[in-house]
Structure 1
Amino acid sequence: MTKKLLFQFDTDPTPSVFDVVVGYDGGADHITGYGNVTPDNVGAYVDGTIYTRGGSEKKSTAIFVGGGDMAAGEAVYDAVQKRFFGPFRVSTMLDSNGSNTTAAAGVALAVKALGGDVKGKRAVILAGTGPVGMRSAAMLGKEGATVAIVGRALDKAQKAADNIEKRFGVKVEAVEAKSGDDRAKAVSGANLVFSAGAIGLELLAEDVWKSEASIEIVVDYNAQPPLGIGGIDAMDKAKERHGKLALGALGLGGLKLKLHRTLIGKLFEAADQSFDADEIYALAKEMA
């Protein structure tokens, strides 16, 4: 029986242990990881995957692009795709920093909790300039929500908004918020509030969101206390709090992991599949 081989191209110096474990749990028979992968050196790695197997065996080779930097991962992923031609290709997946699967799980569960339709609703993403925040903004925007990403510096937030529009064709508002008071103003009138900040920083106090009548759901991607949104629990899964719904990192984590594993399995179903944000989010919605 042909072994299912997964080649992990990581933009960080050392390939992610998390991605290796999930890769095996997703059905790979063997995983080979390479660190410090760049668009300049990835070509030789890709050649090794596309010239060694043919026919029905080719689907048993796949590529996973990861690492902590989504911009770097996107550049490598694009370089991989450009290396393919004709039948000389294998299935690929991009999930730098877990951004695609994490954002897809969070947005899919939030949209489901709100009845499956967020068209015209206002979504605000605190600390939205990072990979998970930017992917969440794009997915919400494509669902028809009006989206704002909040950052400490307006130029960085605007750069992130511009990148989202260029990559996904979705217009996103950039908002500067340097303090808790600024963030409270930013979520005024919002229907959905996401927190995608770094570990160890509360971005929104419980008193702020519980008293904002417009807010229908709060979503926090941080599992380690203090959480980004005060007054919720990491295990919350559309739990009602103060008349609103709360979704915590561990509450959405089950879908994130199941989604990641399922995608690994799908890589080996055919030799020409590509899983980036759009494809991953579509599957998340089916699984939510």
Structure 2
Amino acid sequence: MKRILIQLDTDPLASVFDRVVAVDAGVDELFSYGSVSPEAAVSLTHGAIFTRKVADLKSTAIFVGGSDVQAGEAVYAKVLHSFFGPMSVSVMLDSNGSNTTAAAAVASAGKHLALKETQAVILGGTGPVGFRAAQLLASQGASVKLVSRHATKASEACVQLKLLELPGTVTPHVSTSFEETTALCEGADLLVSAGAAGIELAALKELTGTGIRVVVDVNAVPPLGVRGVESTDKAKEREGMICYGALGVGNLKIKIHKAAIEKLFTSNDLKLDTQAMLGIARELTELA
């Protein structure tokens, strides 16, 4: 039975990145659709669940992607709502690569820190990766400062996360300068920089003495999010801190992405979303 992955992308053109990873993960057939709306997702999902015997549905899976995270979440929700009884296939959500990247960032930090006891600062905390990194850290019991340039956005993001009833805490904070960021890092263990591409949000030299032990910067576009971190850094010590750059994290992100796609075909009822990606990331880091 051939393994078929149905790619539902909310952008006009389905992501080449996601297509390449799917092929490298060993998918036999890849059906890619662009500009997928929640309404269109219903008929596409029905096409996936009505064409094979129930026992064979584990050989069909759906991947929801695209650059718009909210649009992807709406499509993902509609896909799940279209299932009934035994008529379902496994589904993976990774719009903008946010779930796999956040999982890679948190798992990388977890190699050096006990996440349950970690005090974390997330820069760009209202963005796709920052928000999900905050969610994953709080799910492990960490205390998280979710930082944005806008107080309202930070507060709204924290309200959303509190609805998930996570064991850790997430509090909103504002920073518009290196000085304010440095002050927020006092007494913290981990800094994750997940702001917009090409915007510096912090500097390693200014973080010395704050208590920060691990720095993860997921921005690959110069100038990077944390001055002094290199994109290729992978557990590289700089200024007394363990640093990860975007490419250093990216290697694990790709492994998580591939492993998740492979996992889709082990059952017909898996839901691989934000939290599930961290579980896969941990499995991979334990094996490494």
Give the TM-score category using the shorter length: over 0.9
What percent of counterpart residues are identical? Answer: 48
TM-score by length of 1: 0.94
**Aligned residue runs from structure 1 range 1-288, under 5 A:** 2-114=1-113, 117-167=114-164, 169=166, 171-209=169-207, 211-288=208-285
Alpha-carbon distance change, 9 to 103 in structure 1, aligned in 2, over 3 angstroms: same
- TM (norm. structure 2) is 0.94
Q: Does the 8 Å contact 1:109/1:252 carry over to 2?
A: yes
Contact 1:189 1:212 in 2 (8 A): no
CA distance in 2, matches of 1:120, 1:167: 20
Query: How many residues end up aligned between the 2 structures?
Result: 284
**Off by >3 Å, runs of 4+ in structure 1:** 167-171
The SS at the match of 1:271 is coil
Q: Secondary structure at the match of 2:88?
A: coil
For residues 217-250 of structure 1, give each alpha carbon's deviation from its aligned partner in whole angstroms, at most 9, with x where no partner exists.
1000012221111111111111111222111111
User: Shift of residue 268 of structure 1?
Assistant: 1.3
Post-superposition offset of 1:188: 2.2
**Contact persistence 1:9–1:63 (CA under 8 A):** yes
Alpha-carbon shift at residue 168 of structure 1 (Å): 5.7
Q: Please, which runs of 5 or more residues in structure 1 have no aligned partner?
A: none
**In 2, Cα distance between equivalents of 1:168 and 1:224:** 34
Q: Which runs of 5+ in 2 are unaligned?
A: none
CA distance in 2 between partners of 1:5 and 1:206 (Å):
46
- Amino acid paired to 2:85: G
Question: RMSD over aligned Cα, in angstroms?
Answer: 1.4
